[in-house]
Structure 1
Amino acid sequence: PDGAGQVFGLAHELGIRLPVRPEGSLALGWGITAVFAIFPAVIRAKLIYPGTTILLTALLPMVVATWVTIFNTKEQSNEETEEGRRKATLSSLPFLLLLIGTGALLTLGPEFVYLKDNFGFRLNTIFKFYYQAWVLFGIAAIVGLDYLWREFVNAARIAPVLATVGYSLTFLLALMFPYYAVQSRAVEYRGPAASETRLPATLNGLAQLQHFNPDEYNAIMWLKNNAAGNPVVLEATGGAYSSYARVSANTGLPTLLGWANHQLQWRGSSTQEPGMREPVISDIYSRPFWENTGDLLNQYNVEYIYVGGLERSTYGSEGLLPSQEKFDEQLEVAYQNNSVTIYRWQPAPK
C-alpha cells in the first residue's frame, strides 16, 4: 500500500531500519512497530532545535491551568453577589485563552504533521497555518492588554504598564520590517536613494515595466484595453518567480500555461495538463512550418499570439524566432511596435 511506502521513506530519512511489511491489506502489528520505532526518532530530531517546540508545548498547559485557576477563584469570590456573577459571565478571559491556545496549536502542529506537497517539505503548511496563528496571537495581545488594564488596579497596576511598554516596543520593532523591506525592493525600480535620477515612489505595479520596457508595457496595455471578452493569449512559459506569464498576470486574460511547477504544486503531481501544454507552446513558437499550428491554436481556443523579447529568447536564437515567418504569412497583425507583435487568430467554432 502507498501508506507503507511513505512510512518506509520516513524511516529511511531518519536512518531507521524497519522489518518487511507482511502481505495483506492490514498489518496492525507492523504498523505499531513502525510507530514505536519512528516516534522517538522524530522527537529527538525536534529537540535538536527545541526552542519553538518547548515554548509552545509549555504554553498549552499554562493556558489550561490559567483557565481553571482563575475561574475557580472567580466562582468562589463572586458567587455571593449578582454583580459578581455578571462580571464573571462577561469576562473576556475565555476568549483570550481560546485565541492563545488555538494559535499555539496551529504553530505547534506543523512541527510534527504537514501536508507533503511537490516540494516534499513543510514550508507551505507552515505558511497557511502561521498566517492564522499570527492573526490569533495579534488579537490575543490586544485583548490581553485590555484585560490587564481592567483587572489589575492600584498597586498591581505595574503589570499592565510593563506589558503595554513591552508590547509597544515590540510592535515598533516589528514595524521596521515593512519599512525597510519596501525600501529594499523599491530600489529595483526607483534606484539608489542618493541617485539624482531616482524615480518617484508609486503604487502602480506596472510602473517598472513602463519605465524599463515601454514596448512591452504598451503592448500589454493594448491587450488590456482592446481584447473583448476573455480571449486566450499565447505567450512563453517558463520558470517561477520570473517574467514568464507576464502578459496573463498583467491583463487578467487566460493563457495556456504560466509557471508549470506552480500548477503541479497546487493541482497535484498527477495532473497531466502542464506536461501536455508545455510542448504545445514550444511547437507553436519553435516550428518554422505551419503544419498543425492551426489545429493546436483551435484546440486551446487561442485568439492572440504574443511575440516579444521573452518569446524570442526562449524559443529562438540571436533574437530571431523560427515561427516568425509562418506567423506573418498566416496570421493577422492585431498590434505591433518596435519589439512586440501581437497576432490575431480566429479559432474554428467547436
Structure 2
Amino acid sequence: TAVLLVAAAVTVGQYLAAGTGRRRFWTFVLHGTLAAMFLVGPWAPFASHFEVFESGIHRAEQTTQPQQYFAHFGLFVVLGLIFLAVRYREELRARNGLPGRNIGLMCVAGPWELLSFAAFVAGLMAFTWQFGVTVVAVSILIILLLANLLWLELRSTRPDLGRLLATGCFLAAFGIAAGVDVVTVNNDIVRMNTVFKFSLQAWQFFALGGAYAAWYTGSRAWGFRDWRPIMISSRPVFAATATGAVAVLLVAGLIFPWSGTRSRQDARFGDTSLTLNGFAFFEHGTYREDRGTPDPADDVEFALADDQPIVEWLRRNVEGSPVVAEAVGGLYHWTGRISMLTGLPAVIGWDWHQVQQRWDYQRYIQERRSDTQVFYQTSDVAFTIDYLRKYNVRYVVVGTEEVALGTPEGLTKFTTMDALTQVYSDGRYAIYEVAADRLPPLTVSR
C-alpha cells in the first residue's frame, strides 16, 4: 500500500507540475528513483532474510455484513458521501447544471436522476444482500464515483491539490476496506489477519480523507459572525441534516473509547489508579495457574507482585541480550512474562505466535517447549547441562510460574550445579547466572 501511495503521489505530482513534458518526465524518473532507494533500500536487508510461509491469496470465503462495516467505518463513510455530494454539486454548478457526456454527473444532474439513482442503489443492496456481497457492490459504486471526481479534477484547468488528495484517500480507503471481502491472505485463522492489517490501512486513509472532507464541506455550510456559527449554505436542510448525522456518529463513536477503556482497565488492572507506571498492575494482580490436570484442587494461585523483583533485577543488572530460561505453559497464561517485561530473548516464545511465524519449523518449536518443560521438572543434571548449552542460556529464572509448573526436585538441582551461581534470591524465587566455561561438554546428541 505504501509503495502504491508513493507511486501515485510521484506520478500525479509531475502530471500537475509546471514545465515541459521532457522536464517533468526526467523529474518523475529522479523522484521515483529516490523514492525507491529510500523505500526499498533500508528494507532490503530484512526482506532478503525474511522467510514467509504459506504465502499467497485466495478468494474470500467470508464477507463483512453491511452493519458490521458501518459500525467500523460509519463516520468516515458518511463524511465521504457528504464530500461526494458537495463535490458533484460543485461540478454541476460549474457547468451550469449540464452534465455533458459524463455519466457520473448524469446520474445526479437533477431530482429525477437522483431519485432513479437512489432506486438503483436500493435495488443493488437488496439483490446483493442475499449473497453477502453488499459491501463490495456498494463500494465499487462509490469507487467509480470517486474515480470520476478524480478524473474531473485532473482535467481541470486549475486542479485543487487538497481535493485531489482527499479524493484519492477516499478511493484507496473504500478499495482496501472492500478488498478484504474479495481476497484473503493465506494464513491459519481464516481471514482475521487480512481484515486486521488491511482494515487498519483503510482506517488511515479514511481518517485523512475524512478530516479534509469535514473541513471542506463544513466550511461551505457554516460560517462565523461575531464568533457565532451561522448557516451560509444555499441548501440549509441538507447542510443541517448532514451536520446532525456527523455529530450523532461522532458522539456514538466516542462511546466505546470512553466506556470501553474504563471497563477494560477495571477488568484487567483492578484498583490500580491512574499512573504512568507500567508496572503498577503488579500491586493488585493475581493469577491461578492450571497445572494441566483435570483436578482444580492442584491449581496454584499466586500474586503477580512476586515476580516484580525478578523483572526489576534483570532490567537493572543485565546488559545486552542474553538468553533467559523461563517456564512454558498454555496459551494466554502468565508464562512468557519475563521475556515480555524485560525484552530479553527466551528459549521459547508465545506458542502460537511462534507456530504462525515459523510454520515449517513447528517440530523445532515443539521441541523447545518440551525441552523447557522437562528442564524445570527433571532432576537429571546431564539433561540440564545439555539444555543450557544447546540454547545458550545465560540466566535461569525461578519465579511464580516455574514453582507452579516445575517440580521440587527439578528446581532444587539448580542449587547443586557448579556452573550456576545464584545472583538473586527471595524465598522460593531465584535467578541463576550460567557460567558457560564451567559447563561440562554435551553428554548426549540432542
Aligned partner (choices 174, 192, 197) of residue 123 of structure 1: 192
Asked whether 1:253 is paired with 2:339, we answer no
Counterpart residue identity of residue 211, structure 1: H
Q: Which residue of 2 aligns with 1:63?
A: 146
Aligned partner (choices 423, 433, 446) of residue 334 of structure 1: 423
Instruction: Sort the Cα spacing of 1:272 and 1:51 in 2 relative to 1 into closer, same or farther, 3 A.
Output: same
Alpha-carbon distance in 1 for matches of 2:239, 2:164: 19
How far 1:95 sits from its partner (Å)? 1.3
If each structure's strand is expressed as a fraction of its own residues, which one has the higher value? 2
Q: Which residue of 1 aligns with 2:320?
A: 229
Instruction: Sort the Cα spacing of 1:144 and 1:314 in 2 relative to 1 into closer, same or farther, 3 A.
Output: same
Alpha-carbon distance in 2 for matches of 1:45, 1:328: 69
Q: Which residue of 1 aligns with 2:260?
A: 181
- 1:247-296, Cα deviation, whole Å (9 max, x unpaired): 01001111011212101112334454312311221221121120131122
User: What are the within-5 Å matches in structure 2 for residues 197-212 of structure 1?
Assistant: 198-212=271-285
Asked whether 1:243 is paired with 2:334, we answer yes
Query: What's the TM-score, normalizing by structure 1?
Result: 0.73
Asked whether 1:325 is paired with 2:412, we answer yes
Contact 1:118–1:268 (Cα < 8 Å) also in 2: no
Q: How many residues align?
A: 290
Contact 2:306–2:400 (Cα < 8 Å) also in 1: no
Q: Which residue of 2 aligns with 1:285?
A: 376
Aligned partner (choices 246, 263, 273) of residue 167 of structure 1: 246
Q: Which residue of 2 aligns with 1:101?
A: 171
How far 1:189 sits from its partner (Å)? 5.0
Alpha-carbon distance in 2 for matches of 1:111, 1:230: 42
Q: Which residue of 1 aligns with 2:305?
A: 214
Q: Which residue of 2 aligns with 1:54?
A: 137
- 1:204-248, Cα deviation, whole Å (9 max, x unpaired): 332112334322111111111112322211001233333121001
Contact 1:240–1:262 (Cα < 8 Å) also in 2: no
SS in 2 for 1:111: coil
Contact 2:269–2:284 (Cα < 8 Å) also in 1: no
Alpha-carbon distance in 2 for matches of 1:162, 1:91: 28
Alpha-carbon distance in 2 for matches of 1:210, 1:231: 28
Q: Which residue of 2 aligns with 1:266?
A: 357
How far 1:129 sits from its partner (Å)? 0.2
How far 1:134 sits from its partner (Å)? 0.6
Alpha-carbon distance in 2 for matches of 1:45, 1:151: 35
Instruction: Sort the Cα spacing of 1:54 and 1:204 in 2 relative to 1 into closer, same or farther, 3 A.
Output: farther
**Structure 1, unpaired ranges of 5+:** 15-43, 76-84, 192-197
SS in 1 for 2:424: strand
Alpha-carbon distance in 1 for matches of 2:149, 2:361: 48
Contact 2:311–2:342 (Cα < 8 Å) also in 1: yes
Alpha-carbon distance in 2 for matches of 1:98, 1:223: 49
How far 1:91 sits from its partner (Å)? 4.4
Alpha-carbon distance in 1 for matches of 2:349, 2:264: 24
Counterpart residue identity of residue 131, structure 1: L
Counterpart residue identity of residue 148, structure 2: A
Contact 1:334–1:342 (Cα < 8 Å) also in 2: yes
**Structure 2, unpaired ranges of 5+:** 1-53, 63-126, 222-231, 286-303, 442-446
How far 1:162 sits from its partner (Å)? 4.2
Alpha-carbon distance in 2 for matches of 1:339, 1:189: 26
SS in 1 for 2:423: strand
Q: Which residue of 1 aligns with 2:18?
A: none
Instruction: Sort the Cα spacing of 1:150 and 1:210 in 2 relative to 1 into closer, same or farther, 3 A.
Output: closer
How far 1:104 sits from its partner (Å)? 1.2
Counterpart residue identity of residue 277, structure 2: N
Contact 2:378–2:410 (Cα < 8 Å) also in 1: yes
- 1:26-59, Cα deviation, whole Å (9 max, x unpaired): xxxxxxxxxxxxxxxxxx9985434422332222
How far 1:158 sits from its partner (Å)? 5.7
Contact 2:153–2:160 (Cα < 8 Å) also in 1: no
Query: What's the TM-score, normalizing by structure 2?
Result: 0.58
Alpha-carbon distance in 1 for matches of 2:129, 2:397: 50
Alpha-carbon distance in 1 for matches of 2:138, 2:276: 40
Percent of aligned positions that are identical: 25
How far 1:203 sits from its partner (Å)? 3.7
How far 1:70 sits from its partner (Å)? 6.5
Alpha-carbon distance in 1 for matches of 2:433, 2:202: 49
Instruction: Sort the Cα spacing of 1:155 and 1:293 in 2 relative to 1 into closer, same or farther, 3 A.
Output: same
User: Aligned-pair RMSD on alpha carbons?
Assistant: 3.1
Contact 1:110–1:126 (Cα < 8 Å) also in 2: yes
Instruction: Sort the Cα spacing of 1:182 and 1:89 in 2 relative to 1 into closer, same or farther, 3 A.
Output: same
Q: Which residue of 2 aligns with 1:79?
A: none
User: What are the within-5 Å matches in structure 2 for residues 15-26 of structure 1?
Assistant: none
